[in-house]
Chains A and B, each alone.
Chain A
Amino acid sequence: MVEAIRRRAAVFLWGVRAYGFIAGMWVRSTLAYRTSFLIMATGNLLTTFLDFVGIMIMFSHVETLGGFTLAEVAFLYGTSSTAFGLADLFLGTFDRIGTRIRDGTLDTLLVRPVPVLAQVAADRFALRRLGRVAQGGAVLVWSLLRLDIEWTAGRVLLTAAMLVSGGVIFGCVFVLGGAFQFWAQDASEVQNAFTYGGTTLLQYPPTLFARELVRGVVFVVPLAFVNWLPALRVLGREDPLGLPGWVDLASPAVALVCCALAGLAWRRGLRAYRSTGS
């Protein structure tokens, strides 16, 4: 038992290291074309920035949105956007797994001594995706300056844990979506609905949406743990479902459960892989 756990841990660490050197190779090769990298990164930053400008314009007409002030909405936006940005930075090219499964190029990854998950995730690692993290971080910092909240140690810790767990939960959705493609070849659309759709949803206060939708987001797809539930606690507000208070602190645990599920699905998916005839 102990031996098995030790071996798992060793494989995990080796996978992380391999991710590091594969991603590093991609970074070095993209930095070789510095101007094109700068253009891409700036473009990325601009488009995501315009995204938030839309929300600010909305607030030029109304005082509050679902009872939330601009600073509070910015806090929701910043946390969800940063968490998503982190997942997107590290696993954003993961949906290419579908192509690899369909055209059989996954074969070449299976004969190498590096976990396939790490190889797929690190493939074409692009630093320009930092743009989204930077924009989310900027909005978050701006909201922190405007929010009228006393920053106790607990609140700081909760916010940090929220960002990390949120990134992990989004990442798990990426991996789950990828694993699903071993069985259903067109699952990437569904997964995009969860991740890209999910992050847009989480940028707004939960009070805006129908109760059923909120419930679905909490229990079916645990995206509400990315920021809604813990953010409401930080902002000192009640959640619209009236869930017990400890739920707001459950994000890290939910993230761990997501990891276990995603890992399991991935391994079963790999076993179901059948390559292609030539």
Chain B
Amino acid sequence: MGAAAEPFLEVEGLEKVFRIRRRAGRLRRERVEVRAVDGLSFTVPRGEMVGFIGPNGAGKSTTVKMLTGILAPSGGRLRVAGLDPSRERVELTRRIGVVFGQRTTLWWDLPLRDSYRLMRRMYRIPAARYRENLDRCTELLDLGPLLTVPVRQLSLGQRMRADIAAALLHDPEVLYLDEPTIGLDVVSKSAVRRFLADLNSERSTTVLLTTHDLGDIEQLCERVLVIDHGRLMYDGALAGLHEVGESERVLVVDLARELPPISGLDGARTLRTEGPRQWLAFPASASAAPLVGRVAAEYPLVDLSVQEPAIEDVIARMYAGRTG
């Protein structure tokens, strides 16, 4: 059938316009149009893992809502696994999994296990497959001790892991994650990343991960789509994004004591110092490892971390690069 060659997600000239009424002055109200998504086009083949990145208000969530059939597009064409999401929403539900970072699909007042049982009946998941999937998620996402706990008592990180499991019990072909790592602790964050990487490589589930934090997708997605004001700004490898934007990452080092600014390291410059802590900028397209090695060799290094460039800065440089 040539299904492999056919794109799994097809988005062509997609638009979404919200007409809202806004207060203008004390009594007067005016109607304004918000073009949340403005002529977006891209395709994603089956089994790919794509980062969908942009600043707050860029139109990421709106796009995901159209891909899942929650919202009908104002214009353009949209196909997911050959289906039109808003018209064939119910049919599509069995084939997709969705995790909204801001809201849970679980039942607040029920123990986690009861939520999963409801999912099983709603999606009519065969018992054996349900058990297998639940066991796997429980183990990899470390949910075992949480199954008897009412969802409202879970921490944000626990709830997010529980939500990801809930979205995968019915073996969806594609998983949408809308800001899944927002507000997560470091341990949960890396557990989620590892889990998603496994899911994608072992089950070849297509994954679309939305975020405004470049750090989230750095270890996950070979391909990123950058959107701003509802338009596609970049489509390609993450490394390429850094080259286009000529953006910099920042190495934060904690030294054993207060020292003069680190200097003489190729390709790195010290931004500022504060007591024993120093900030070094280096090109985002370069690896941090050699730089770390040299700092460690020449200075009394205690601790370090790497900060990704803010997506707003990357986009600002893109605009500058286009006009200049």
A binding-site residues for B, Cβ under 8 Å: 18, 21-22, 25, 29, 104-105, 107-108, 110-114, 124, 271, 273-275, 277-278
Interface size of B as a range: 20 to 34
- Tell me if A108 and B100 are in contact (CB < 8 A): yes
Contacts of A25 in B (CB 8 A): 110, 114, 117-118
Distance (whole angstroms) from the CB of A6 to the closest CB of chain B? 16
Contacts A18-B122, A105-B103, A278-B61: A111 and B114 contacting too (C-beta < 8 A)? no
**B109 interface residue, CB < 8 Å from A?**
yes
Contacts of B72 in A (CB 8 A): 271
Q: How many A-B residue pairs have CB under 8 A?
A: 64
Bits for B94-123, please: 1 = Cβ < 8 Å to A, else 0. Answer: 101010101111000111001001100111
21 cross-chain CB contacts under 8 A: A22-B118, A25-B117, A107-B100, A108-B98, A108-B103, A108-B104, A108-B105, A110-B69, A110-B70, A110-B89, A112-B105, A112-B122, A113-B93, A113-B122, A271-B72, A274-B18, A275-B70, A277-B18, A278-B61, A278-B102, A278-B179
Contacts of A21 in B (CB 8 A): 118, 121
- Tell me if B93 and A112 are in contact (CB < 8 A): yes
Nearest B-chain residue to A104, judged by Cβ:
B103
CA distance A46 to B69 in the complex (A): 46
B binding-site residues for A, Cβ under 8 Å: 18, 36, 56-57, 61-62, 65, 68-72, 89-90, 93-94, 96, 98, 100, 102-105, 109-111, 114, 117-118, 121-124, 179
CA distance A274 to B21 in the complex (A): 14
Task: Name the contact of B103 in the complex, choosing from A18, A107, A273, A277 (C-beta under 8 A).
Answer: A107
Contacts A18-B122, A25-B117, A107-B65: A113 and B103 contacting too (C-beta < 8 A)? no
- Tell me if B98 and A111 are in contact (CB < 8 A): yes
CA distance A107 to B98 in the complex (A): 10
CA distance A115 to B111 in the complex (A): 23
- Tell me if A111 and B18 are in contact (CB < 8 A): no
Q: Which 5 A-B pairs have the closest CB atoms?
A: A113-B93, A108-B105, A110-B70, A111-B98, A114-B122
Task: Name the contact of B114 in the complex, choosing from A29, A110, A271 (C-beta under 8 A).
Answer: A29
CA distance A108 to B114 in the complex (A): 17
Distance (whole angstroms) from the CB of B53 to the closest CB of chain A? 15
Contacts of A277 in B (CB 8 A): 18, 36, 57, 61-62
Contacts A21-B118, A22-B118: A111 and B104 contacting too (C-beta < 8 A)? no
- Tell me if A111 and B70 are in contact (CB < 8 A): yes
Contacts of B68 in A (CB 8 A): 110-111
